């Protein structure tokens, strides 16, 4: 929510309140990409979460590892597709950020 709210603030600050459609699209895009990151982070932290937080969905087997990966990929693809539809330069920035943040 914080990342998405930051996007709305930036767009409103730069272009005024009359451009809420771009703010909404930016909010949705950032939120989807962040959700993909959160899901994949939970996947990689599942071993330590099994010890520290065994009640969480992945360590408690409420959701499978395969499903977590599917959700993560779906969120990333949806967010990147919205970015590409809005602005190809923003798409390039998101891809670069994701690649450099992952490795």
Tokens coding 60? 């408690």
Domain that includes residue 75, residue range: 2-102
Tokens coding 63? 């959701």
Q: What percent of the chain has pLDDT over 70?
A: 69
What is the per-residue pLDDT across 19-42, written as a single tens digit (0 to 9) for each?
666 667 777 888 888 888 889 888
Task: Give the number of domains in the chain.
Answer: 1
Q: What H or E segment, with its residue span, contains residue 56? A: none
- CA–CA dist 75, 64 (Å, integer): 17
- Mean pLDDT over 44-63 rounds to 90
Residue 78 has pLDDT above 80, yes or no: yes
The b/e string for 54-91 (b: 16+ C-beta within 10 A; e otherwise) is eeeebbeeeeeeeebeebbeebbebbbebbeeeeeebb
CB 77 within 8 A of CB 16: no
- Mean pLDDT over 66-80 rounds to 92
């Amino acid at each position: 929510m914080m990342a998405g709210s930051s996007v709305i603030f930036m767009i409103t600050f730069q272009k005024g309140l009359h451009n809420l459609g771009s703010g909404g699209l930016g909010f949705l895009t950032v939120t989807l990409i962040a959700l993909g990151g959160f899901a994949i982070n939970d996947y990689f932290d599942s071993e330590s979460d099994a010890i520290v937080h065994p009640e969480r969905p992945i360590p408690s087997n409420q959701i499978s590892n395969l499903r977590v990966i599917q959700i993560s990929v779906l969120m990333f693809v949806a967010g990147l597709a919205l970015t590409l539809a809005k602005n190809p330069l923003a798409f390039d920035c998101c891809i670069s950020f994701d690649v450099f943040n992952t490795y």
